[in-house]
Each structure stands twice: as structure tokens, then as C-alpha cells.
Amino acid sequence: MMRTLWSLFLFGLIISMQAVMAQESKDYSQKQLKDHIYELSYDAGGYMVKVIASVGSDGILLVDSGHEQKAEALKAKLQELWGGTPAVIILTHEHIEHIGGNEIFGTAPLVIGHPSLRTRLKESHFLFDEFTDATLPEITFTDTMSLYFNGEEIRLYSLAGGHSGSDIMVWFTKSKVVCVAALCNWPHFPSIDSKTGDVEQYPADVEKAMALLPADVLVVSGHGEDCSMEEFRKFHDMLVRTHDIVRSELAAGKSMEMMQKENVLKDFKSYEGGYTSTDGWIKYLAEGIEKKPGDSRKDLYEPIYYALKDRGADSAIAEYYMLKKDHADEYAFEETVPAIIGYKLLNRKRYSEAIRFFELSLKDYPKGVYANVSYQLMAESYEKTGDIQQALKNYRKLIKLTPEDSTIAEKIKELEKM
């Protein structure tokens, strides 16, 4: 159960990366929320990614830093608008589209976040990001803390455990703006990181956030629309009511599949959008409420990462097959693993190594749910290396699987002219 949802979450990372790569030339847009508080955002493929900036006499303070692929654009936008770089970066949680821009600013900014970030970002698939101290928080807290910046008190609250294991809320008290990140996805269903989050705790964390805030505060979500406290309460009401429905149906003996077929959340259809469907939210709820024992197998990313780092791609893939042959019961072998490793390596411009892992993904899972993504990202990797023929070969395989994709068809035409 836990591995299934985790795989879905990582699949979302790949899709997010594809969207970002397709929009590299697009700039951050900006709008002024209050006096000296600004929202910088971009479309990551069906949902927004936001960076909040406080700008004033003390300098620039950022809440989150976007995706690594957009770091140059963020740095340029800060220079264009305010002629500087951030003095402080507050990280709302561990997901890549919230922390990826830190590295470009080096160690100069003071980074604040949940203490779990210092370990979480150095394990599992995060190893392949090779985050330096520039991303890790220098100041951490487990309850509350305040800092004073640009003429106002900024209150930070730890609300970890619902959406992820490192969620915090950032409240600009004088400006009456609060960044709740993924603790609100108005007007859509949220997502839950089933590796470090808990769908049953999520409504309670949202309720805690609401209890701390005044009625006239502007609520800024990480990916949904900015909203009022009244809309935030409606979001919470949806969480409670959908929990109650799914819990009741489970108690009546219905399976998750039966609930999806019967469309038990049909009255909440308007909350679809972003990255969670009604069926997806039923799945989050049903599997979270049932709380089946998690997968106790070891994480496969660590031995593969160190084999790659120490001995190269050939040895890393040999290590993969050795563990699969002799220790398959000890390690979690899933389609997720080679696809995510390839994605991480491509993200770091290690194209030749990325290709090897996309090949591995397609060899072991030729008809898997990641096949389309592996063909596309392998084609992009070949294109980056200048091997147009191999890029075309993989795009043509992809178009056979997705003949309705006009973007890929146009890409093939473009490369055929080269």
C-alpha cells in the first residue's frame, strides 16, 4: 500500500519535470499580494508552483525556491525586480519543486526548515540530487519560532506528518498573508506523500492551521489557488466529509475498487483537477484508513547510488541485477527505481548515465506504466548529447504508444529536418 502511493508520487515528479523542461524559456510571473509581499509562480503542467518573496529594507526573504530547472529564471527574476538575491529562504517541506532553487544561491542565504530535512534530503532517491549544504536548513524547529524581517514578525509553525514529514506554515503577521504550502490545495483534492505523510492526520493539521489564523488572512497554497479563510474552511470540510464517507463505506465491507466504481464521492467531483482525481482521492483515503502494514524491504536507491558514484554506470547496473538475483526478498524492486534514477541523472545533465537507466527501465518493464516516460526522457537525453538519430528512434517508439500526442509528432518532424 505505502509503496503504491509512493510510486504514484514519484511518477508525479517525472511528469512535473517534463512540464518544466518543456517550459524552460518561460519566465516566472509575479503579482503583489500585499505591500511588500510578492508571489512568483509558473505553470508546472496543470498546477502552479509558487515562490513567495518578502522585499524590504532587510533584503529579500523567500518562502520556497521552486524547481531546480527553474532556478536560473528565479535568480534572474529576483535580480530584475529587486536587484538582489535572498538573505533568507524558508522551506515549507521536502518536495523537489519547493527546494530545488536553493543550490543556485549557494550558502549565502540563511535557510530555515523542519529538522527532518537534514536527514531526508540525504537518503533514498534524494541521494541522486546530491544536495549540498546550500539546500539543507541551518536553523530548524519542531514546534514554533518567530523571526523579524522587513518590519514584521513572521511566525513559523511545524505541522509535519499530514502532507509530508516536514510541513511548516509561514505567517506574515502584519501583512496578513500565510503560506500553507500543500496543507491547502483549494479548490482541488490534495496529494499525500505516503512515505512521510498520513492522509488521516492531514485534516487535523489543516484544522490546527485554521485555529491559529485570523479571519482576514490571505491563504497562499503551494499549488492551488490563493484563497480566503472561508474557502480554507470549505476545503477542510471537504476533507472531513470525504473521510467520513470512505470510512463508512469501508466499514460496510466495500473495497476501494467498489467505491470507485460506485462513484461514492460524486458530490465532490468539482474538487478534481491539479494532480488528484476523485478516484485518486478515494485511493488515498481507503489505503490510509486501512493502514495495512508497510513494505519492510530495504530501499534500493542507496546501493545503486554508491555503486554509480564509486564505479560508474556499468557497475551500478551490475549491482542492480546482483541484488535482484540474490536479494530480491530484501530490497524493494519496483518499476519506479530505474525510471526515477534516470530522471534524476537527466535532471543533473548526466545524459549518458540517464540513458543507461531508461534502457534498464524499458528492459525490465517493457509494458509498464513508466514505458512512455522512459522513451520520452531517453529521447530527450539523446537529443541533449547531439545523437539525433537515437532521439528520433525513441520518439518514434513513443508515438506508437501515444499516437494522439501532437507534441511528440511535432518533435519528430522538427528532428527529421535536422
Proportion of the chain in helix, strand, coil states, percent, rounded to 5: 50, 15, 35
Measured between alpha carbons, how far is 364 from 131 in angstroms, rounded to an integer? 29
Q: What is the pLDDT of residues 375-392, one digit of tens each?
A: 999 999 999 999 999 999
83 within a domain of the structure (yes/no): yes
Same domain, 81 and 228: yes
Same domain, 122 and 230: yes
pLDDT at 100: 93
32 sits in which H/E element: strand 29-34
Measured between alpha carbons, how far is 161 from 167 in angstroms, rounded to an integer? 7
364 within a domain of the structure (yes/no): yes
Same domain, 79 and 190: yes
Q: What is the pLDDT of residues 109-132, one digit of tens each?
A: 999 999 999 999 999 999 999 999
pLDDT at 129: 94
98 within a domain of the structure (yes/no): yes
pLDDT at 26: 57
Q: What is the pLDDT of residues 264-311, one digit of tens each?
A: 999 999 999 877 999 999 999 999 999 867 678 899 999 999 999 999
Give the residue from 221, 242, 263 where a domain finishes: 242
Which residues constitute the domain of residue 125? 2-242
User: Is the model more confident about 210 or about 1?
Assistant: 210
pLDDT at 179: 98
Measured between alpha carbons, how far is 86 from 99 in angstroms, rounded to an integer? 14
| Cell numbers linked to 74 | 528565479
Same domain, 17 and 131: yes
250 within a domain of the structure (yes/no): no
Q: Which residues of 403-418 are buried (b: 16+ CB within 10 A; e: fewer)?
A: eeeeebeebeeebeee
Place of cell 530545488: 100
Return the CATH number at 366. 1.25.40.10
pLDDT at 246: 98
Same domain, 217 and 349: no
pLDDT of 332 over the 80 cut = yes
Nearest to 195 by CA among 14, 330, 336, 309: 336
Measured between alpha carbons, how far is 226 from 412 in angstroms, rounded to an integer? 39
Q: What is the pLDDT of residues 8-50, one digit of tens each?
A: 444 445 444 444 444 443 589 999 999 999 999 998 877 889 9
Measured between alpha carbons, how far is 116 from 153 in angstroms, rounded to an integer? 24
Paired residues of 332 in beta bridges:
none
Give the residue from 242, 273, 295 where a domain finishes: 242
Same domain, 366 and 217: no
359 within a domain of the structure (yes/no): yes
Same domain, 181 and 40: yes
Same domain, 196 and 71: yes
289 within a domain of the structure (yes/no): no
Return the CATH number at 35. 3.60.15.10
279 within a domain of the structure (yes/no): no
Q: What is the overall mean pLDDT for the chain?
A: 92
pLDDT at 175: 98
Same domain, 109 and 233: yes
Same domain, 220 and 338: no
Cis peptide before 187 (omega within 30 of 0): yes
pLDDT of 328 over the 50 cut = yes
Is this structure's pTM higher than 0.85? yes
Helix (H, G, I), strand (E, B) or coil at 294: coil
Paired residues of 177 in beta bridges:
172, 218
Paired residues of 378 in beta bridges:
none
Give the residue from 216, 242, 268 where a domain finishes: 242
Nearest to 129 by CA among 117, 139, 141: 117
Question: Per-residue pLDDT averaged across 337-347, rounded?
Answer: 94
Number of domains in the chain: 2
158 within a domain of the structure (yes/no): yes
Same domain, 12 and 132: yes
pLDDT of 373 over the 60 cut = yes
Same domain, 31 and 133: yes
